[in-house]
Amino acid sequence: MAEPRIGGDMTAAERVLDRADELASHSDLPDGIERVYLSPQHRAANDLAARWMREAGLVAWEDAAGNQCGRRAGAGDQLPAVLLGSHLDTVPGAGRYDGILGVLVAIEVAARLRDAELPFALEVVAFGDEEGTRFGTTLLGSRALAGTWQPEWGGLTDADGIRLADAATAFGLDPARFGDAARTPEELLAYLEVHIEQGPRLEDADRALGVVTAIAAAERRVITYTGESRHCATPWDLRHDALLGASEAILAIERVARAHGSYATVGRIHVEPDAVNVIPGVAAFSLDLRDETATGRDSTWERILHELEAIAVQRGLDLDVSSTHLAPEVVCAPELRAAFASGIAATNDRGSDEPMELFSVAGHDAMAVAAVAPVGMLFVRCRGGISHHADESVRADDVALAIDALEAAVLQLAAEYQPS
């Protein structure tokens, strides 16, 4: 059995950072990073990842949903696989590492284990859509791999009205065959994802790495207040201003979510008729609500809804709420948490004998893959906890530790593996 190569391979870490820079140059924004599903930039990113996968000794292919995949050549064609990966798509104005780091670290580990004797196959995946930036619905790539692709998603449209099915055809895929990307539980032993923390807890604790216990339960909604659009000369008492209702509601959401330890974000708002001298008749806004458990999320929502209804009554507005995304919490598999804990311990980094455990507020491909395989995640410290922003930053020595820890985790799984 191969031994993990511990000691902080800075050459590999620098290669990961250089590759992240190269991927960042494939953006559809002139002054920032944005790379969305089924775009020319997605094509360029897949081509780069495929080249790096081949250099790491993997056989590379693109699956039916546009995920870039690789598998250790010749190593047990019939064996079930341990799958390593993350995503290559980004939010608008993104940093260089959200998702990307996990793909690049996985490729480094595959390269290191190129000649190792493993009792399972080893695969790497670079998912095409985790963020949902282009078509509004998230985790499209990982849900296709997990076999939970919904055929009606072909009809989703982007901001320019382009249907997902047409974007897929232009990308070179057959939209009718997205379901073929599905993998079975028999094919996948485990999914391991490395990701930047996207929060400050590791940095606050002076730790480079942490083991993820679970990924937060989330729900996204569109909340619409409808009042009356009128001339701005209308007296106060006759107004039914939808935007004032929404404004009060957004502050109430912050108050309730803070009090209950949930995470709530209103990131988008739409006003009609959107004119300087007309009282807004319609205000529709998004709400992304997350909590460690679905029960916690739902009880926070009950309290929020109570406030939203009271505001509607008090201001004489109609209230409409629709749900656009619902995800339960996903608990990381105990054996994969243990593998990552022993992977971190093998790095001999500060405090690595007692690895920090933390839950993920951010959503990840692992949430989708959990439908088909046990999942485990390793978090890497990022400066200031900043993410979904151009200032996202990771330290090269932390990346070196992450490569060591992921390799050691895979070898730990190999040592314990009992074929059924």
Q: Tell me which residues touch Mn ion (CB under 5 A).
A: 98-99
Pick from ligand GLV, Mn ion, none: which does 363 bind, CB < 5 to 8 A by kind? Answer: ligand GLV
CA–CA distance, 325 with 166 (Å, rounded to integer)? 23
Pick from ligand GLV, Mn ion, none: which does 291 bind, CB < 5 to 8 A by kind? Answer: none
Name which of 314 and 323 has its Cβ closer to ligand GLV.
Answer: 323
Closest to 343 measured CA to CA, from 203, 201, 208, 198:
208
User: C-beta of 291: minimal distance to ligand GLV in Å?
Assistant: 13
User: C-beta of 6: minimal distance to Mn ion in Å?
Assistant: 27
Taking each helix axis from N to C terminus, what angle separates 10-24 and 100-112, rounded to the nearest 10 degrees?
A: 140
Closest to 205 measured CA to CA, from 413, 379, 28:
379
170: which 2 tokens? Answer: 């232009």
Name which of 12 and 215 has its Cβ closer to ligand GLV.
Answer: 215
- Considering CB under 6 A, how many residues would be counted as binding ligand GLV? 3
Closest to 359 measured CA to CA, from 204, 207, 199:
199
User: C-beta of 324: minimal distance to ligand GLV in Å?
Assistant: 13
User: C-beta of 362: minimal distance to Mn ion in Å?
Assistant: 6
* By the rule CB under 6 A, 336 interacts with ligand GLV: no
Pick from Mn ion, ligand GLV, none: which does 329 bind, CB < 5 to 8 A by kind? Answer: none
Among 362, 373, 402, 409, binds ligand GLV (CB under 6 A): 362
> Binding string, 202-241, against ligand GLV, x = CB under 6 A?
----------------------------------------
* By the rule CB under 6 A, 194 interacts with ligand GLV: no
User: C-beta of 353: minimal distance to Mn ion in Å?
Assistant: 29
Handedness of CA 245, 259, 329, 336 (dihedral sign): positive
Between strands 209-215 and 356-360, the pairing is parallel
Name which of 219 and 407 has its Cβ closer to ligand GLV.
Answer: 219
Name which of 110 and 126 has its Cβ closer to ligand GLV.
Answer: 126
Output the CA–CA distances (angstroms, integers) from residue 373 to 67, 80, 126, 352, in the order listed: 17, 11, 17, 27
Among 70, 343, 363, 376, binds ligand GLV (CB under 6 A): 363
CA–CA distance, 399 with 404 (Å, rounded to integer)? 9
CA–CA distance, 369 with 21 (Å, rounded to integer)? 27
Touching ligand GLV, residues 2-31 (CB under 6 A): none
* By the rule CB under 6 A, 380 interacts with ligand GLV: no
| Number of C-beta neighbours around residue 74 at 10 A | 9
User: C-beta of 208: minimal distance to Mn ion in Å?
Assistant: 19
* By the rule CB under 6 A, 141 interacts with ligand GLV: no
Residue with tokens 């990381």: 332
Instruction: Indicate left, alpha or beta for 212 from its phi (over 0: left) and psi (-120 to 50: alpha).
Output: beta
Among 9, 34, 123, 131, binds ligand GLV (CB under 6 A): 131
377 class by beta-carbon count within 10 Å (0-12 exposed, 13-18 middle, 19+ buried): buried
Closest to 412 measured CA to CA, from 381, 386, 378:
378
Name which of 142 and 300 has its Cβ closer to ligand GLV.
Answer: 142
Residue with tokens 């088909």: 372
Nearest residue relative to Mn ion (C-beta): 99
User: C-beta of 196: minimal distance to Mn ion in Å?
Assistant: 8
Touching ligand GLV, residues 247-266 (CB under 6 A): none
Name which of 63 and 98 has its Cβ closer to Mn ion.
Answer: 98
Write phi, then psi, for 394 (nearest 5 degrees). -125, 155
Is 364 in a helix, a strand, or coil? coil
Distance of CA 196 to the CA centre of its chain: 10
Name which of 122 and 362 has its Cβ closer to ligand GLV.
Answer: 362
Name which of 85 and 363 has its Cβ closer to ligand GLV.
Answer: 363
Residues that bind ligand GLV (CB under 6 A): 131, 362-363
